[in-house]
Amino acid sequence: MTVESTAARKPRRSGAKRSTTARDAKKQPEGQTELVQLLTPEGERVEHPEYAIDPTPEELRGLYRDMVLTRRFDAEATTLQRQGELGLWASLLGQEAAQIGSGRALRDDDYVFPTYREHGVAWCRGVDPTNLLGMFRGVNHGGWDPNSNNFHLYTIVIGSQTLHATGYAMGVAKDGADAAVLAYFGDGASSQGDVAESFTFSAVYNAPVVFFCQNNQWAISEPTEKQTRVPLYQRAQGYGFPGVRVDGNDVLACLAVTKAALERARTGQGPMLIEAFTYRMGAHTTSDDPTRYRSPEERELWETKDPILRLRTLLTREGLADDAYFAELERESDALAKRVRDAVRAMPDPDDMALFEHTYADGHALVDEERAQFAEYQASFVTAEEGI
Amino acid sequence: MAAEKMSLSKAINASLRTALESDPKVLIMGEDVGKLGGVFRVTDGLQKDFGEDRVIDTPLAESGIVGTAIGLALRGYRPVVEIQFDGFVFPAYDQIVTQLAKMHARSLGKVKLPVVIRIPYGGGIGAVEHHSESPEALFAHVAGLKVISPANASDAYWMLQQAIGSDDPVIYFEPKRRYHDKSEVDTAAIPGPLHAARVVRPGADLTLAAYGPMVKVALDAAAAAAEEGKSIEVVDLRSMSPIDFDTIQRSVERTGRLVVVHEAPVFLGTGSEIAARITERCFYHLQAPVLRVGGFHSPYPPSRLEDEYLPGLDRVLDAVDRALAY
């Protein structure tokens, strides 16, 4: 049994007096029964016939902690951008449940191909959050070893990584390994040819890959209606594998459905598409101005579905966490924020000669020549200074 | 294992076979590479002998072919992908340029991408549109890619072996109109460096630099010029990224003159880079400006016009005469 939130139903019942809410109502799932939900916006557990999950109180607190710390990290990064410490930041505000739910469904030997917004998934994979900031500060293009955490580098070109994930999954299958690959992309990327090609390849080769689309309703300023005329999860059917829409603000539903999809992939049943129906509460990036293209009412509506608030309601109501727990988590959040702040400010600029490193694995005569010329040019300044 | 005379396409086939035999991580991927053996039959018999898991027929989607090859390389495989024709590479250009070329640098050297992209290229076979292009400069311009082209069967065999062995992505341009040209291939030989140019005919008056399908034209031109008493040196570049400027420089320091020949449009092409660099390096040795002979700034023409578009013996000899007249 799935339950759609009353908050989402209201505009439709009220006859959609305001144009904004009329559009909001239209943005809700077409067939409500298709939306997998295990935790309502009111913080109540509900059952679903296919996706049962029974987390322990410790697991529930863990998911809550992940979401709170991820949100705090994200807020700190946004602040650091405003303070000029980062050139850009892509906030995940509002998408914590989609990322933590799916991220916590992973096994260590699974492999993840993220976009550039999967800070919560990176957290689940054990990537130090300070390492996510290098590319946004401009000191590198990705500051972690993908193979240390089975978490690939962020990919900026929309949708490219879905093909890398598919190829990697084809390799997993060739190796006879019992692992799965999780590929993230957004509603905007669903329009890209590469995503379509990754669906084709993964279906044809029965690759153990799960596509996790975070439909956060907006691709910068373009709404989902500008990307598709059918609900995104239904795209999978045309490629020959299942698609499911999950309440992306429900961490339990995201966890349960992703777990099932990964297990399906691991056991040779091929790819699956999960559409996490969620909302980007903030701007696309810090360069964006969402007030130009969406209404405050829309955000207010989605605030009633806040992923963190609903789990907190559950924890409180069922007595699974007390004030002391929440206070301790607050202190932990503060400490994380300070650690991130200090790390960013201490992040050194790369050495000049890094320009010539890592372009090629085996070396290249032109790089060697330009490195030597640049070194000589740099050295000429030292010589001039010494001359004075 | 001794030397054997074989066609350029057979040499590539033999090279792929050797690679599949010697490393279980090597995969062949592409459209029609399996049962058909490729539209040029270059992969003939490989799927039969190595199976569908090693020689993989793919969906007709070039970005998908290269994008999944990247993923397979990240998993530790060494994919050798075939793009059916030069003009069909562009749907994959994004994956090649934004992902394949840059991922090693992006990861600060943490990941390696040993992907080889084979592209039959160039004209002269009377094909329809998109089947005769020479886009090598578009790839050579991109840092992170290496770009090579063999001109004979021996190089076709060995350069492909070396490309597959490289941890860098390599674009391997196959001169399709030379597929049937035969020459000696010594599969037991020790090959020279992959990116070294080679003097294939010594001469004293002028250097002709060419690569891929144009090496034969350059050699024919040198032979024709010899009948008029002109001594032309021919350099086969073999690699367009990196370019072995040292070998060209040494040649030009001897001859004092350079003409670069390629099928691709002259404007902003490989020849432009060579002209600029050699002018810098050999300014006091040059007795004539570096001249270029190549395609025009037009789309590749319908095949009935391709003999006018492609550099032939006469256009090359005309440039030789102009350079010698200074």
pLDDT-derived band at A385 (thresholds 50, 70, 90) equals low
Model-level ipTM above the cut of 0.90: yes
Cα(B117)–Cα(B172) distance, rounded to whole angstroms?
A: 6
Expressed in angstroms, the distance from the first to the final Cα of chain B is 49
Inter-chain CB proximity A364 and B241 less than 8 Å: yes
How many Å separate Cα A291 from the centre of its chain?
Answer: 23
Closest CA of chain A from B19, distance in Å: 18
Res. A293 pLDDT band, cuts 50 70 90: very high
Q: Do A197 and B64 touch (CB under 8 A)?
A: yes
pLDDT at residue A14, as a whole number: 35
| Contacts with A153 from chain B: Cβ below 8 Å | 103, 106-107
| B-interface mutation test, from A109, A113, A131, A164, most B Cβ less than 10 A away | A164
Non-local CB neighbours of B157 within 8 Å, separated by 6+ positions = B11, B12, B14, B15, B185, B187
Active site residue B104: no
List CB contacts (< 8 A) between A199 and chain B. none
Q: Which residue of B has its CA nearest to A154?
A: B106
Does residue A175 belong to the interface with chain B, where contact is any CB pair within 8 Å?
A: yes
pTM: 0.93
> Tens of pLDDT along B195-242?
999 999 999 999 999 999 999 999 999 999 999 999 999 999 999 999
> Residue A155: closest CA among chain B residues belongs to which residue?
B99
Enumerate the active-site residues of A: 280, 284, 293
Give the nearest partner residue to B242 out of A157, A174, A365, using CB atoms. Answer: A365
Owner of token pair 């789990």: A311
CB neighbourhood size of A130 (10 A): 19
* Alpha-carbon distances of B142 from A40, B108, B146, B245, B275, rounded to whole Å: 51, 17, 9, 18, 19
Count the Cβ atoms, other than its own, within 10 Å of residue A50.
Answer: 9
Q: Is A111 helix (H, G, I), strand (E, B) or coil?
A: strand
Q: What is the pLDDT of residue A382?
A: 72
Calpha distance B56→A132 (Å, rounded): 36
- Among candidates A372, A341, A339, which has minimal Cα distance to A355? A372
Q: Is A157 exposed, middle or buried (0-12, 13-18, 19+ CB in 10 A)?
A: middle
d(CA A8, CA A157): 33
Tell me which chain A residues have a C-beta less than 8 angstroms from the C-beta of B77: 171, 174
The interface residues of chain B toward chain A in range 216-255, judged by CB-CB distance below 8 A, are 241-245
Residue in A109, A141, A175, A362 to test binding to B, most B beta-carbons within 10 Å: A362
Task: Write out chain A residues lying below 8 Å of B103, CB-based.
Answer: 153
Rg of chain A over Cα atoms, rounded to whole angstroms, equals 23
Q: Do you find a cis peptide bond into B242, omega within 30 degrees of 0?
A: yes
Q: Is A138 left (phi over 0), alpha (psi -120 to 50) or beta?
A: left
The first and second tokens of residue A16, run together, are: 């959609």
Contact A171 B71 (CB under 8 A): yes
SS3 (DSSP) at A374: helix
Cβ contact A163–B242 (<8 Å): no
Q: What is the pLDDT of residue A12?
A: 34
Which of helix, strand or coil describes residue A245?
strand
pLDDT for A21 equals: 38
pLDDT digit string, tens, across residues A257-291: 999 999 999 999 999 999 999 999 999 999 999 99
pLDDT at B166 over 80: yes
* Contacts A–B by Cβ distance under 8 A: 143
Please give the average per-residue pLDDT across B63-90, as a whole number: 98
Rounded to a whole number of angstroms, the distance from the CA of A278 to the nearest CA of chain B is 28
Q: How far apart are CA B82 and CA A192, in angstroms?
A: 23
Catalytic site residue from B104, B131, B141, B262 = B131
* Residue numbers in A near B99 (CB within 8 A): 155, 157, 160, 164
For A126-168, how does the pLDDT look when each residue is reduced to its tens digit (9 = 90+)? 999 999 999 999 999 998 999 999 999 999 999 999 999 999 9
- The model's confidence at residue A75, banded by pLDDT at 50, 70 and 90, is very high
SS3 A206: coil
How far is the C-alpha of A132 from the C-alpha of B98, rounded, in Å? 20
**Is the backbone of residue A270 left (phi > 0), alpha (psi -120 to 50) or beta?**
left
Closest partner CB to A166 (pick from B68, B76, B91): B68
> Which pLDDT value is given to residue A11?
36
Show which of residues 178-197 on chain A sit within 8 Å of chain B, judged by CB atoms: 193-194, 197
Instruction: Match 């027929």 to its residue by tokens.
Output: B57
CB contact, 8 Å: A174 with chain B? yes
DSSP string, B73-138: HHTT-EEEEE-SSGGG-GGGHHIIIIIITTHHHHTTTSS----EEEEEE---S---TTSS---HHH
CB contact under 8 A, A362 and B167: yes
Above 60 in pLDDT, residue A33? no
What residues of chain A lie within 8 A of the CB of B72, using their CB? Answer: 167-168, 170-171
What is the token pair recorded at A60?
Answer: 């529930």
Contact assignment for B69 to A364 by CB distance below 8 Å? no
| pLDDT value for A386 | 67
Tens of pLDDT, residues A203-223: 999 999 999 999 999 999 999
The Cα-based distances of A15 to A24, A27, A34, B60 in angstroms read: 12, 15, 23, 48
Is A140 part of the contact surface with chain B (CB cutoff 8 Å)?
A: yes
Q: How many CB atoms lie within 10 A of CB A285?
A: 16
Q: Which residue of B has its CA nearest to A148?
A: B110
B108–chain A Cβ distance below 8 A for any pair: yes
The terminus-to-terminus CA distance of chain A in angstroms comes to 82
A262 touching chain B per CB within 8 A: no
- Rounded to whole angstroms, the Cα distance separating A61 from A325 reads 9
From residue A13, give the alpha-carbon distance in Å to each of A7, A10, A277, B174, B244: 10, 5, 21, 66, 74
Contact between A200 and B241 using a beta-carbon 8 Å cutoff: no
- Interface contact A167-B74, CB threshold 8 A: yes
The predicted-structure confidence for A329-342, as pLDDT tens digits, reads as follows 999 999 999 999 99
Residue B171 to residue B27: CA distance in whole angstroms: 16
Percentage of the residues of chain A whose pLDDT score is greater than 70: 90
Which residue of chain A is at minimal alpha-carbon distance from B110?
A145
Mean pLDDT (chain A) is 91
Contact A198, A210 (CB under 8 A): no
Q: Please, are residues B19 and B26 in contact by the beta-carbon 8 Å criterion?
A: yes
d(CA A165, CA A97): 22
Question: Which residue is listed with tokens 């370019």?
Answer: B243
pLDDT band at A9 (very low <50, low <70, confident <90, very high): very low
| CA angle centred on A208, ends A203 and A212, rounded to 5° | 85
**Distance of residue B136 Cα from the nearest chain A Cα, in angstroms:** 17
Asked if B168 has any chain A CB less than 8 Å from its own CB, the reply is: yes
pLDDT score recorded for residue A380 = 92
CA distance B220 to B271: 19
Could you tell me where the beta strands, DSSP code E, fall in A68-131?
111-113
Work out the minimum CA distance from B172 to partner chain A, whole angstroms.
16
